[in-house]
A and B are shown apart, each in its own frame.
Chain A
Amino acid sequence: MTRILDPTLSDAAAPAATPRAPRPLALRGLTVGLLANGKSNGMALLDGIAERLRERHGIGEVVRAAKTNASAPVSEEEVERLAKRCAVVVTAIGD
């Protein structure tokens, strides 16, 4: 028998899981962030979602952000800004 080696990462250590932030139990009155990835209809999709969240859960203020480059990770500054102002953030791609 001959051994051939596994070319995948199946035997590698699993990526360290980032702990999830605590979830609010209700959305009423909370500030919700909308982060579009920068494609054409991302914000349209998010606006629709915000509308539903307002109707069904009575969310408060909405903060919008859009990446200017869909391929680039969201900047640390933007993450900081959203984290400071928002209780939850919804992100979407819409092409």
Chain B
Amino acid sequence: MTRAGIDVGDPWEAIEACYARGWTDGLPVIPPTEPLVDRMLAGGPWSPGEVLLHEPVRDRAVTAEKAAINAVMAGCRPEYFPVVGAALQAIGDPAFMLHGPATSTGGSALMVIVNGPIVGRLDLNAGANLFGPGTRANATIGRTLRLVLLNCLDCRPGVLDKSTQGWPGKYSLCFAEDEAASPWEPLSVSRGVAAGRSAVTVYAAESGHNVLSHGTGDPERLLTCFADAMAGLGSLSPGRSVVVFAPEHAQHLRRAGWSRARVQQWLYAHAWRSLGDLKRAGKVEPAFYTNPELVAWIYRDAPGGQPEPAPGLEDAERVTPHDESVRVHRGLGPDDIVVAVGGGAAGGHSAFFPSWSRGRSVPFVTKEVPA
């Protein structure tokens, strides 16, 4: 059976034909010829017709073959395909509710954090410039997700992808955890995957915030900078957080003997603003007071609990003395903070990535990469 496609004379014509049909993210793509696509498919365990991602809102099914075509175009090598497939399965998990982060004005990127032995086999970068350019596996695996969204789910900018601004992570945002530099077990193990197995963890990420600290090795002083970034009013929400510690910062935490769970707990406890601050900044929308989940978030840690009678719409902007003592935390608990390690050996530069959405966002999803 002839597969759907177009016939072209030479590679340049092919690249231009892909542009002409809107099949790219703005950068040139590798023309997906049949032999290249077949080699890509052979790199994974899936048959061509197997569905790797089903998007329920618009009822779109992305098969392994379509994923392979987009992986070729993104520049992947066939041995990357198991990671691509696992990442597609992760963002296609119904819990991830892909339609929201894929189309929202929030303009999030799909972050992929890779753990396990496949990191070494694919030369995925967990070190210097891990969020930046320069490594084929990082660049092309992340790019494949974007091309699948563009080409298979029709997430065209300004049409179905209504990102107000978007950000460069939307081209590609895939990196490995530096398991050797980490004081803790691999992130995938903390998230329930057996040690020694490879896995991806996906997240709907807004643009990262550099957290720089060079003047202290004391864990609480160090983490104060992170909690402050996380409590910024611009991104404060009941959503999730990803914090990637540079090896230098991770080393301070290792020396102090802090566990991953303790770091998560400390960050959750300290990343808060008073309800008064939120109201003065217009961060409490009147509709919040009609949404039980948001009311529960705001008053989760309030002295005396939720106020009686329940606050009304007019209370959204009215600051009371009591509001100054109500701590509104980022997220709903320590588990809403993923803590990982990565970056170059030198430099006190870590990163905090807020979640997409002013609400709960979508959960982290971890999937094992098939061997």
Contacts and interface: CB of A to CB of B under 8 A. Distances in A.
A7 B100 contact: no
A75 interface: no
Interface in B84-111: 97, 99-101, 104-105
B152 A71 contact: no
In this complex, the interface size class of chain B, counting residues with CB under 8 Å from chain A, is 35 or more
Interface stretch (A34-42, A50-58, A83-91): A34-42
A6 to B, nearest CB: 4
Nearest to B34: A3
Nearest to B287: A40
Contacts of B66: 7-9, 12
Given A40-B287, A68-B292, A71-B100, A3 B7 contact: yes
A25 interface: no
B330 to A, nearest CB: 17
A15 B31 contact: no
A16 interface: yes
In this complex, the interface size class of chain A, counting residues with CB under 8 Å from chain B, is 20 to 34
A46 B37 CA distance: 49
A76 interface: no
Contacts of B147: 7
Contacts of A3: 3, 5-8, 33-34
Contacts of A4: 5-6, 8, 14, 17-18, 31-33
Interface in B35-75: 37, 56-63, 66, 69-70, 73
Most buried by A among B7, B58, B287: B287
B73 A7 contact: yes
B33 A41 contact: no
A95 B162 CA distance: 13
B32 A71 contact: no
Nearest to B285: A40
B9 interface: yes
A73 interface: yes
A73 B55 CA distance: 12
B293 interface: yes
Interface stretch (B243-251, B262-270, B357-365): B357-365
A3 B304 CA distance: 69
Interface string A62-87: 00001011111100000000000000
Contacts of A1: 7-9
B8 A2 contact: yes
26 contacts: A1-B7, A1-B8, A2-B7, A2-B10, A4-B6, A5-B4, A5-B5, A5-B34, A5-B69, A6-B3, A6-B69, A7-B70, A8-B151, A9-B66, A9-B152, A10-B4, A12-B63, A12-B66, A16-B59, A40-B287, A66-B290, A66-B291, A71-B104, A71-B357, A71-B362, A73-B57
Interface of B: 3-10, 14, 17-18, 23, 31-34, 37, 56-63, 66, 69-70, 73, 97, 99-101, 104-105, 147, 151-152, 285-287, 290-294, 357, 359-362
